[in-house]
Structure 1
Amino acid sequence: MNASPTLNGDIPVGNWIDRWIPAVMRPYLRLMRLDRPIGTWLLLFPCWWSIALAGEGWPDWRLMILFAAGSVIMRGAGCTINDMADHKFDALVERTKGRPIPSGAVSVTQAGLFLVAQLLAGLVILTQLNAAAIWWGAASLALVFPYPLMKRITWWPQAWLGLTFNWGALLGWVAVTGQMAAAPLLLYAAGILWTLGYDTIYAHQDKDDDQLIGVKSTALRLGAHTGPALAGFYAGAVVLMAAAGMAAHLSWPFYLLLLLSAGQLAWQVRSLRMDDAADCLVKFKSNRLFGWGLLAAIIAGKVL
């Protein structure tokens, strides 16, 4: 029997990467966070929601698979960009000092070459979509590259992450229909508020270190007011998701399942212990359940 993985900061050690991947490749897979897939799920769900929202009946499974592959690649590219920009800060934070670049397992130059390879792989996937979607996909890079700088210049880097991580809500719709509409714009706005909520929870893990090294976050900006702010973010997200469903003419099962899914968000707000880093991580990861719930709601609203 294999021992359970342990942690080196926020990096699992002794998991499938250590057991099955050649040593030379391990730092690069960890740079992509392949052993921590929650970020990929949070990037993927807005894409899947939008594909399901735009389709007639069941979603296009070819597009669902393409966007899943693209989310793995582009989440990895985003993590590489972030770690290249933040490696000096990461070396000062207990949770992140074991990451591939600050630990010395990968140089900044090697990471840059790996980034180029990931972006080329992402381009290959993007070119499988229609012409309009290719342009919308390329435009997302204007959000991806500046993101690591946001924590240096604004208390609201989580808002920029929301703009970036929910771009798939626009791209998925265009990949199905070839044009933009009100429904995906409402879904995009909803996703931004959702991200503001879950990434504020995530940021509470690092608030002490962030304060010491001088970087900003909504966790530090909101402080003791985090609970009411989270309630507002999540409530606004649910209202906008309902509006997106109305714009897409979804049937009544969508609204019932959306309401049930909103209970998951309410549980996060009600039970969050924001000074407990382990609890913050549990609540952050639990957003995968909400993602599945909303996807089920949209499909039900289309099919039933």
Structure 2
Amino acid sequence: MMNWLAVKERADLYERLMRLDKPIGILLLVWPTLWALWLSAGGRPEWPVVWVFLLGTVLMRSAGCVINDYADREFDRHVERTRERPLTAGRVSERETLILFVVLCLMAFTLVLALGRPLVIWLSLPALFLAISYPFTKRFFALPQAYLGVAFGFGIPMAYAAQLGTVPAEAWWLLLANVFWSLAYDTEYAMVDRDDDLKISIKTSAITFGRFDVVAVMLCYAAMLAIIAGIGWTLLRGWPFYVGLAVAAGIIGVHYTWIRKRERMACFKAFLHNNWVGGVIFAGIVIDYLIGNWRN
């Protein structure tokens, strides 16, 4: 019984280290990946590919959280929201953390190998580099959230490579849209920790944008929607595609009412609510292709 309880306690700590108890990060990675899978396949993606990417997203987001906590283990002690994380609190060792990171990466790479698509395998290498290096960009880069957008969105070119065997310009534009989206929602997140980050000299977009943070967030949202609308126009998509974008714009308008006073919990609420932004855009894409494919 004691051994079982010890195993369960360890598993709970690893779950927290991987942030499986906070699935918002997984969802923010899943939505752009699904956008790419549906757009690249004309609304008819290969289901084995979809499942590989869904599971791979969970694994790599978990790995990203683990290496992020390792990189930030000293800084997190000085931030109210993070000081009780398993590694920072000393409940998980640094060695355990690195082993868990390697295991998660190997599991994700096994999925990539199972696809048997050479270009996807090659693209997985920069994807791994982005996941490892992102936590360290907060030391020197004024907009680490932009780097995060590339890391979070690298499933986009990989999805196109899996479906088409190539990565067209459309995929890179969609990745750019994700960079702007990440800048928007992660700036909302950074607004929550701005005071703590200033004390420990961590660089974030909320600090860089300063008193223009709310304006910057809204401009980034607008850029994201404009780029996706442009992709839809290029692909000759129908009205449901644009309805999805219009609903997303309405949700973003609600975000403005929450973040304009820069209250911590309201900003965090807006960050979490981005799940709905990604979801309605995906719904618009799916419905548009369903109607189009049915007519054809």
- TM norm structure 1: 0.90
Q: Aligned partners of 2:76 and 2:186: how far apart in 1?
A: 18
Q: Aligned partners of 2:236 and 2:42: how far apart in 1?
A: 11
Q: How does 1:75-154 map to 2 (within 5 A)?
A: 75-129=61-115, 130-154=117-141
Q: 1:59 to 1:269 in 2, by over 3 A?
A: farther
1:22 maps to what in 2?
A: 8
8 Å CA contact 2:244, 2:282 repeated in 1 = no
8 Å CA contact 1:70, 1:122 repeated in 2 = yes
8 Å CA contact 2:153, 2:175 repeated in 1 = yes
Q: Which amino acid aligns with 1:152?
A: R
Q: Which amino acid aligns with 1:203?
A: A
Q: How far apart are 1:191 and its partner, in Å? A: 0.6
- Bigger shift: residues 81-90 or 178-187: 178-187
Could you tell me which runs of 5 or more consecutive residues in structure 2 were left unpaired when the two chains were aligned: 292-296
Q: Aligned partners of 1:67 and 1:165: how far apart in 2?
A: 13
Matched, 1:268 2:255: yes
1:99-129 CA distances to partner (integer Å, 9 max, x unpaired)? Answer: 0111011111110111111111111111122
Q: How far apart are 1:165 and its partner, in Å? A: 0.5
Q: Aligned partners of 2:43 and 2:63: how far apart in 1?
A: 33
Q: Aligned partners of 1:46 and 1:245: how far apart in 2?
A: 14
Among 228, 234, 237, which residue is 1:247 paired with? 234
Number of matched pairs: 285
1:121-155 CA distances to partner (integer Å, 9 max, x unpaired)? Answer: 11111112222112112221221111111111022
Q: How does 1:278-297 map to 2 (within 5 A)?
A: 278-297=265-284
Among 51, 57, 63, which residue is 1:65 paired with? 51
1:162 maps to what in 2?
A: 149
Matched, 1:210 2:197: yes
Q: Aligned partners of 1:246 and 1:136: how far apart in 2?
A: 27
Q: Which amino acid aligns with 2:176?
A: A
1:195 maps to what in 2?
A: 182
8 Å CA contact 1:51, 1:172 repeated in 2 = yes
Q: Aligned partners of 2:46 and 2:110: how far apart in 1?
A: 19
2:30 maps to what in 1?
A: 44
Q: Aligned partners of 1:276 and 1:266: how far apart in 2?
A: 17
Runs of 4+ deviating beyond 4 Å: none
- Bigger shift: residues 95-104 or 135-144: 135-144
Q: How far apart are 1:92 and its partner, in Å? A: 1.3
Q: Which amino acid aligns with 1:187?
A: L
The alignment's C-alpha RMSD in Å is 1.6
- TM norm structure 2: 0.92
8 Å CA contact 2:258, 2:266 repeated in 1 = no
1:41-89 CA distances to partner (integer Å, 9 max, x unpaired)? Answer: 1111111110000113343332222111111110010011111110000
Q: Which amino acid aligns with 1:157?
A: P
Q: 1:216 to 1:110 in 2, by over 3 A?
A: same
1:34 maps to what in 2?
A: 20
Q: 1:140 to 1:209 in 2, by over 3 A?
A: same
Identity over aligned residues, as a percent?
35
Secondary structure of the 1:59 match is: coil
Secondary structure of the 1:24 match is: helix
8 Å CA contact 1:202, 1:280 repeated in 2 = yes
Q: Aligned partners of 1:173 and 1:249: how far apart in 2?
A: 18
Matched, 1:224 2:196: no
- Bigger shift: residues 81-90 or 273-282: 273-282
